[in-house]
């Protein structure tokens, strides 16, 4: 059984201009994997501001700026770890056609955490203590780069947002969207095997050398370019109201059912809770818990989530 790549949203002309090769001339026993465009260029550019070249992307006229952001860090918790590399790609999208219409700039910066990196971080990222020595992120450059951007996309927004806002508290008033599992795109529903970035791109016929911030940003951006319907899904999710539902006084015997419905246990508040996208989903869930235990909907606590607080750690 041969592996068929998923269809690509970009036109053959755009792909040709970017040097993308096809498997068509090789026969059914071969599939060509292409490196994500510009990832090699960004890896070689290193630290600083870079201009991106993406010929063939066409404007609509109602464009809004957006950014794709990624961080490499000293650890896994923003509370006791810090950013060592920040990557951001900036472009524009059309709200009416729900597609990316341009990619313009990339910004990459390193920062010395003031201590030696754990071996596992160097192993994963390739970043060494020598690379970081005396490096610092220019706050004003980052603030200027994102000054006109309201929407920031990350392929694990809950992780990246926590680190980014700890480091840049002046940039908290942004809307965040997530392209990964549990975020604003339901990859599983569309039959994807995994929501890992490399796995998703592989299904479209692309690969990249990951775990460097600017390269990961480009890979995420390319995924949203070739899977235009998923970028549209992400935008639609961002636009919908989101609700946090707490199943107050839910009896112990229904805990497994709640867990199966996607609820999580809050040990501090001692309550099962879930997040629902859209008023219809909220109404459905209130009906479900009302049928699950007496008065479930009446005692449930519903909090509408601010669009500016989504994907917070």
Q: Say which residues have a Cβ less than 8 Å from residue 228's Cβ, sequence separation at least 6.
A: 9, 98, 99, 100
- pLDDT, tens digit (0-9, with 9 covering 90-100), for 116-137: 999 999 999 999 999 999 999 9
Angle at 156 between CA 150 and CA 158, to 5 degrees: 70
What pLDDT does residue 25 have?
A: 67
CA distance 129 to 114: 9
Q: Given the DSSP bridges, would you call strands 242-247 and 301-304 parallel, antiparallel or unpaired? A: antiparallel
Bridge partners (DSSP) listed for residue 208:
none
Give the gyration radius of the chain's Cα atoms.
21
The answer to whether 228 and 9 have CB atoms below 8 angstroms apart is yes
DSSP designation for 275: E
Locate 248 and state its tokens: 């107050």
- Bridge partners of residue 86, in order along the sequence: 71, 109
How far apart, in whole angstroms, are the C-alpha atoms of residue 161 and residue 259?
26
pLDDT band at 31 (very low <50, low <70, confident <90, very high): confident
pTM for this one?
A: 0.88
What is the reported pLDDT for 279?
93
Region 17-38 average pLDDT: 86
pLDDT digits (tens, 9 = 90+) for 74-83: 999 999 999 9
Q: How high is the pLDDT of residue 210?
A: 86
| pLDDT single digits (tens) 138-192 | 999 999 999 999 999 999 999 999 999 999 999 999 999 999 998 999 999 999 9
The string of pLDDT tens digits covering residues 61-98 is 999 999 999 999 999 999 999 999 999 999 999 999 99
- pLDDT score of 26 more than 90: no
- Residue 53 corresponds to which tokens in the numbers above? 């070249």
User: From CA 284, how far away is CA 32, in angstroms rounded?
Assistant: 45
Measured over the CA atoms of residue 210, residue 81, residue 182 and residue 240, the dihedral's sign is: negative
């Amino acid at each position: 059984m041969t592996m068929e790549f998923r269809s690509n949203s970009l036109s053959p002309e755009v792909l040709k201009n970017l040097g993308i090769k096809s498997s068509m001339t090789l026969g059914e026993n071969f599939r060509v994997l292409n490196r994500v465009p510009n990832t090699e260029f960004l890896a070689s550019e290193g630290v600083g501001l870079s201009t991106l070249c993406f010929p063939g992307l066409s404007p609509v006229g109602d464009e809004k700026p957006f950014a794709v952001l990624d961080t490499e860090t000293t650890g896994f918790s923003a509370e006791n770890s810090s950013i060592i590399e920040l990557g951001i790609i900036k472009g524009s999208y059309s709200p009416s056609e729900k597609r990316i219409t341009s990619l313009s700039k990339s910004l990459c910066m390193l920062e010395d955490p003031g201590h030696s990196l754990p071996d596992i971080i160097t192993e994963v990222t390739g970043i060494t203590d020598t690379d970081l020595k005396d490096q610092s992120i220019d706050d004003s450059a980052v603030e200027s780069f994102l000054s006109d951007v309201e929407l920031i996309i990350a392929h694990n927004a809950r992780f990246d947002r926590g680190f980014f806002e700890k480091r840049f508290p002046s940039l908290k008033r942004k809307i965040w969207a997530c392209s990964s599992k549990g975020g604003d795109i339901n990859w599983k529903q569309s039959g994807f095997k995994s929501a890992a970035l490399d796995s998703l791109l592989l299904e479209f016929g692309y690969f990249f050398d990951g775990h460097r911030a600017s390269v990961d940003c480009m890979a995420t951006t390319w995924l949203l370019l070739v899977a235009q319907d998923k970028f549209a899904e992400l935008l639609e999710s961002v636009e919908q109201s989101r609700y946090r539902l707490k199943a107050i006084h839910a009896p112990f015997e229904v805990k497994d059912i709640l867990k199966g419905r996607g609820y999580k246990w809050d040990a501090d508040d001692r309550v099962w809770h879930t997040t629902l996208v859209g008023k219809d989903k909220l109404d459905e869930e209130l009906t479900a818990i009302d049928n699950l235990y007496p008065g479930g909907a009446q005692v449930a606590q519903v909090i509408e989530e601010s669009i500016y607080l989504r994907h917070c750690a």
